[in-house]
């Protein structure tokens, strides 16, 4: 059931979300969104020079496209394939970070905390609207980034 969306250079430059809209519209209309939890992957086909050393998340045009995507679909982390690394890559597009050869990606701690908490609030409300149990999902997402959320926190926001 994996949904793999190819993002091409021109669509990224044009901030064109049509490939995502075309894929997600039927799921939203048919109320089948829950069936696609953690099933979305992106294949980024971005043309660049062969000697360009940047990671995709360091290319401003790609990052801006993901900022636009996140503004239109703020609940998208629900669909991203976490096991395939899509959630981490998505966060890297939106949160300042640095790359370390031995440790990999190192997020700005304050920016990451704000991003994670924003997503917890957005997803909590969205999952509730979709009648999808949220607590364990949100705890798992927070844990991926090193945060522990206890049940009292969820009592406060419900």
Span 126-135, pLDDT tens digits: 999 999 999 9
**Predicted confidence band of residue 1 (pLDDT cuts 50, 70, 90):** confident
Helix (H) or strand (E) holding 134: none
pLDDT given for residue 158 in this prediction: 81
Q: Are 99 and 88 in contact (CB under 8 A)?
A: no
pTM of the model: 0.94
The tens digit of pLDDT for each residue in 5-55 reads: 999 999 999 999 999 999 999 998 888 899 999 999 999 999 999 999 999
Helix (H, G, I), strand (E, B) or coil at 107: strand
Q: Hey, where are the domains in the chain?
A: 3-157
Give φ, ψ of 113 to 5 degrees: -60, -45
């Amino acid at each position: 059931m994996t949904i793999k969306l190819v993002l091409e250079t021109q669509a990224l430059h044009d901030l064109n979300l049509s490939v995502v809209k075309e894929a997600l519209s039927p799921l939203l209309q048919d109320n089948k969104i829950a069936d696609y939890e953690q099933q979305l992957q992106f294949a980024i086909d971005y043309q660049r020079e062969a000697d360009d050393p940047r990671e995709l998340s360091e290319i401003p045009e790609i990052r801006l496209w993901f900022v636009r995507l996140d503004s239109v679909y703020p609940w998208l982390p629900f669909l991203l394939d976490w096991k395939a690394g899509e959630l981490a890559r998505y966060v890297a597009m939106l949160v300042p970070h640095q790359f370390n050869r031995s440790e990999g990606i190192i997020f700005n701690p304050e920016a990451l905390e704000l991003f994670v908490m924003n997503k917890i609030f957005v997803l909590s409300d969205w999952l509730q609207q979709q009648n999808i149990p949220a607590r364990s999902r949100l705890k798992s997402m927070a844990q991926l980034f090193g945060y522990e959320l206890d049940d009292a926190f969820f009592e406060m926001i419900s």
